[in-house]
Amino acid sequence: MGKREYDVIIIGAGPAGLTAGIYLGRAKLRAVILEAMTPGGQALFSERIENYPGFPEGITGRELAERMVKQAEAFGTEIKTLCPVERVRLEDGVKVVEATGGPYRSKALIIATGAQAAKLGVPGEGRYMGQGVSVCAICDGAFFREKVVAVVGGGDSAVEDAFYLSRMASKVYLIHRRDKLRAQKILQERLFEQQNVEPIWKTVVKEIRGNEEGVKALLLEKVDTGETRELPVDGIFVAIGRRPATEPFRGIVELDEGGYIVTDQGCATSTPGIFAAGDVRKKSVRQISTAVGDGAIAAYSAELYLERWRG
């Protein structure tokens, strides 16, 4: 097997990709993980993870990622960082991945590139990410018990996040640029039954303000009048959509209308030998624990595929 030839190539070093690397390494298969940035994926933005089994005191996203990396490498899986993938092509069943230092070739491929939450793109958002700015209410909501928070968005995700937060925060503002929500009516009705939820209509966030302790306030602007005001909050949850990282795979595997990869229960895509795991695939729940489960399933499915390949 050549220098850049592997049994399995994994694209993406989030929890799903790292788990797949652990399982494949234990199976004595030659595997490599190609990561565009730093291992950890979206977990890196979680200041503390309290709902991942085995860590009753919680763990930072960075520490969890570092442990996964160490475990994958201990079993022989290579991890190449700063290695963005440009495209994937097929050559008589062989998967050819064009990336930094490539091309890389393998018989099986696992796509675990994840989905990134859309950002507001305002001052303070990057600075306070993980310090009051969050894109996951289920992940971080517990840190805001009896505190004041804002949710930005108008779709199902924003309304569901606001409802979830209303059960722990003292006050929840729902900020939307229009005068009505896109979310399902039944979700809206359930949300506005909560006494501690207040909508702020026809308004956008222009800046997230804070200090060394974290978020302290939002600068808001009315879209119709341009009037601005400062709203004191302890945290802000951005729920304006997610974008799966699937551009290099268009035309290679089937995608749904949102750009997510369609798979079966074994994480197999429409193309034999290509599997998808984690937030990049079409599914209903996107959590670290479900990404880890996907990674294990995809690795097992890839191993079975290789056994059939070898005949």
To the nearest 10 degrees (0 to 180), the angle between helices 185-192 and 156-166 is 20
Closest CA to 293 of 62, 112, 25, 103: 112
pLDDT at position 51: 80
Nearest in space to 3 (alpha carbons), one of 132, 120, 109, 106: 106
- Sketch the domain layout of the chain as residue ranges: 5-117+242-310, 133-238
Of the listed 7, 83, 92, 136, which one is catalytic?
Answer: 136
Residue whose entry in the numeric block shows the structure tokens 């079409």? 282
pLDDT greater than 70 at residue 47 = no
DSSP characters for 9-40? EEE--SHHHHHHHHHHHHTT--EEEE-SS-TT
- From the list 7, 139, 161, 279, the catalytic residue is 139
DSSP, res 85 = E
Q: Do domains 5-117+242-310 and 133-238 have the same CATH topology?
A: yes
CATH architecture of 5-117+242-310: 3-Layer(bba) Sandwich (3.50)
Token couple for 163:
């409802």
Structure confidence by residue, pLDDT tens digits, 106-122 = 999 999 999 888 889 99
What is the per-residue pLDDT across 176-222, written as a single tens digit (0 to 9) for each? 999 999 888 988 999 999 999 999 999 999 999 999 999 999 999 99
Summarised one tens digit per residue, pLDDT across range 60-93 is: 888 999 999 999 999 999 999 999 999 999 998 8
| Annotated catalytic residue 267 | no
Task: Measure the CA–CA gap between 148 and 95, rounded to whole angstroms.
Answer: 50
Q: Strands, DSSP E only, in 113-265?
A: 115-117, 133-134, 148-152, 171-175, 197-200, 203-211, 214-222, 228-232, 235-238, 242-244
Residue 51 phi/psi, 5-degree rounding, is -110, 15
Strand pairing class (31-34; 5-11): parallel
* pLDDT one-digit tens code per residue, 125-184: 999 998 999 988 877 898 999 999 999 999 888 998 999 999 999 999 999 999 999 888
Q: What top-level class would CATH report for the domain 133-238?
A: alpha beta
Note if 83 is an active site residue: no
Closest alpha carbon to 97 in 39, 1, 10 = 10
Residue 205 token pair: 């966030």
- Structure-model confidence comparison of residues 261 and 58, the more confident one: 261
Q: Which of 7, 83, 140, 267 is catalytic?
A: 140
Token pair in block for residue 234: 């302890």
pLDDT beyond 80 at 310: no
Rounded mean pLDDT of 9-26? 97
User: Average pLDDT for residues 94-105, to the nearest whole number?
Assistant: 92
For β-strands 171-175 and 197-200, DSSP reports them as parallel
Question: Is the bond into 272 cis (omega within 30 degrees of 0)?
Answer: no
Residues 6+ apart with CB under 8 A from 307: none
